[in-house]
Amino acid sequence: MSQMKHQGGVAAPARGPEPGQAGARQDRRRTREGGLDWQRFTSRYAIVGIWILMCAFYAVLMPDTFLQGSTFRSVFASQQALVFLAMAAMMTFVVGEFDLSIASALGLSATLVPVLAILHGWNLALACVVAVLAAALGGLVNGFLVVKVGVPALVVTLGSSTLMLGIASLVSHQTTVSGLSSDFADIALFEVAGLPISFFYGLALALVIGYVLTFTPLGRHMTFVGANREVARLAGVAVNRIRLGAFVVGSTLAGIGGVLLVASVGGYDSTVSPTYLLPAFAATFLGTAVVRPGRHNPIGTMVAIYFLATGILGLQMLGYTGWIENVFYGTALIIAVSVATIVRRRTAST
């Protein structure tokens, strides 16, 4: 009955859409879906396109130098400590926390290895283990104070950052301790396919973290906690345990990054540790605009790291040194956080 119309007292079947109208609607739907697909693609890979344009820009300005293989090797071979540090930052970001002490944890680890091995004669492998454990302990203390005691993360991690920086300066007597063996350097600098093996450590780390966050219950719980802590708790997720674990894992990754850093350079000056924090945060936030817009993801973070490194290297090759790195990374962080906020709002509204 609902399908019928009365025309002059006689029931007549309702007329369906004309074939031409149905086809037009399908065409509009395909066009709309195609537009959405293009929007998704551009939102995920816009940074890659900008990266290519940046390389082309530098190549035009420096045709004889920028396009050499040594330039790109310099970009991909020198960021491994930053890769580990950015992954460390991402661990806490995913669960809705942050840790300002990761750069100092990296610095403490990088300082302890030569101090224990050179100044105190420890076995090098044992020195590396103790250095990483020291960084992990810092994360455990941070996590306990933030999660169990309820102290704001800003206060705790800023204070522990200063504390670890001071400890590193104390044990190193405020000097650069060097003299590590060339064999030890091989754990970071041994070449595979023209790149140091530490590059592949970082790539493997990103793939493992990506798998965990995307395909495992633990990763989904971490994302759930970061999205809505109270709802996750009501759903039975071990919220506090996950938050505490994120601090510990993040600091442990920073400690491993410190070992790789000191292995690659042979010594370490603990006073430079704070300079690693801004690039790590900038790359982590900028990475939310790549691959999985609005979400912290390791592949996006790696792309952001090498994108930023390319920008810095190109400017340095043009003769801008010293101040340019701080200006570039500071600007990148502001833009990255702004982009991440906009993308997150758009994602939430769709």
Per-residue pLDDT of the chain (350 residues; tens, 9 = 90+): 444 444 444 444 455 555 555 555 555 555 454 445 666 666 677 788 888 998 999 999 998 888 888 888 888 988 999 999 999 999 999 999 999 999 999 999 999 999 999 999 999 999 999 999 999 999 999 999 999 999 999 999 999 999 999 999 999 988 888 888 888 999 999 999 889 999 999 999 999 999 999 999 999 999 999 999 999 999 999 999 999 999 999 999 999 999 999 999 988 988 899 999 999 999 998 888 877 777 889 999 999 999 999 999 998 898 887 788 888 888 888 887 787 777 667 666 65
Alpha-carbon distances, residue 45 vs 39, 211, 304 (angstroms) = 10, 20, 11
Single pTM value for the model = 0.84
Give dist(CA 76, CA 79) in Å, integer: 6
Q: What total of structural domains would you count in the chain?
A: 1
Helix, strand, coil percent values for the chain (each to nearest 5): 75, 5, 20
In a domain, 30, yes or no: no
In a domain, 163, yes or no: yes
| The pair of three-digit structure tokens given for residue 247, joined into one six-digit string | 């601090």
In a domain, 202, yes or no: yes
Give dist(CA 248, CA 47) in Å, integer: 31
Which domain, by its residues, includes 198? 78-273
In a domain, 345, yes or no: no
In a domain, 153, yes or no: yes
